[in-house]
Amino acid sequence: MTTLDTSRSTATRTRSPLILPIGVLAAAAAVVGWVLPDRTVGTGAMDGMSMTHYMGLLAVNQPWNLILFMAIPVILAETLAITELVLLFRADPPAWVHSLSRWAGLLAGPLMVLVLVHLVKNAVVPLSSGGGWRGPADVIAVISYLLAGLPLIGIALVEVGLVGRDARDARKWHAMFVGAFLVLAHVAMIFGMLDPAVLGWGASHVMPGGGTMPGMNH
């Protein structure tokens, strides 16, 4: 913890002046996530394979789905994880590390609002109502991915002063949110890469070959 954090650890945190613009950005992200054309369907290069909807989402609409749903969130999260270590273990970290961590957290929140709204609307609801889940691996992968977005939203709330009573408490929540994201994201990756047939999805459901591959919807 830095000397600055220690000196302020007993003082009540004030809300950041960025709370309004970040709130507006998050609201706009939710609207974009809702009205964005369904990104869970499209053409892909893995036709004929049995896979989870998690893998299907990343495989279609290349490279844009991979960038939106994997690359950008992971880059922001890894930036948060690395800067978190610097802030925790260096007594006087450079000012740019604070700034990088802060802006990565502020951007990650609205981005994950967009992703969560879009995937709940176009994946979770139709898959649940239509019985389209491909066994336990599919459910674990998709739900873990969505849950991993919540800690990133939580980090944004820390950065604008809505979570954390003081600097010490805010740093604690920040570190816990980073850890929670990493755990949930890796659970999603592991089960997402698993053939759903391994955990009992019937072989009769394997997708036939063809010119297009379904994404998350059937």
The residue ranges of every structural domain in the chain are 41-205
Separation between Cα atoms, residue 137 and residue 197, nearest integer Å: 9
Give just the sign of the alpha carbon dihedral 146, 151, 154, 156.
negative
- Three-state secondary structure call for residue 42: strand
More confident residue, 42 or 167: 167
- Three-state secondary structure call for residue 9: coil
Q: Which two tokens stand for residue 155?
A: 């980090």
Mean pLDDT along residues 124-130? 92
Q: Do residues 105 and 22 make contact, with C-beta atoms less than 8 angstroms apart? A: no
pLDDT of residue 140: 95
Separation between Cα atoms, residue 199 and residue 210, nearest integer Å: 25
Give the pLDDT band of residue 6 (cuts 50, 70, 90): very low
Give just the sign of the alpha carbon dihedral 18, 21, 25, 27.
positive
Separation between Cα atoms, residue 97 and residue 108, nearest integer Å: 16
Separation between Cα atoms, residue 90 and residue 214, nearest integer Å: 48
Residue 3 has pLDDT above 80, yes or no: no
Compute the C-alpha angle 101/105/107, nearest 5°: 120
Question: pLDDT for 50-99, tens place per residue?
Answer: 789 999 999 888 899 999 999 999 999 999 999 988 988 888 889 999 89
CB atoms within 10 A of CB 130: 10
One-character DSSP codes across 116-166 = HHHHIIIIIHHHHHHT---HHHHHHHHHHHHHHHHHHHHHHHHHTTSS-SS
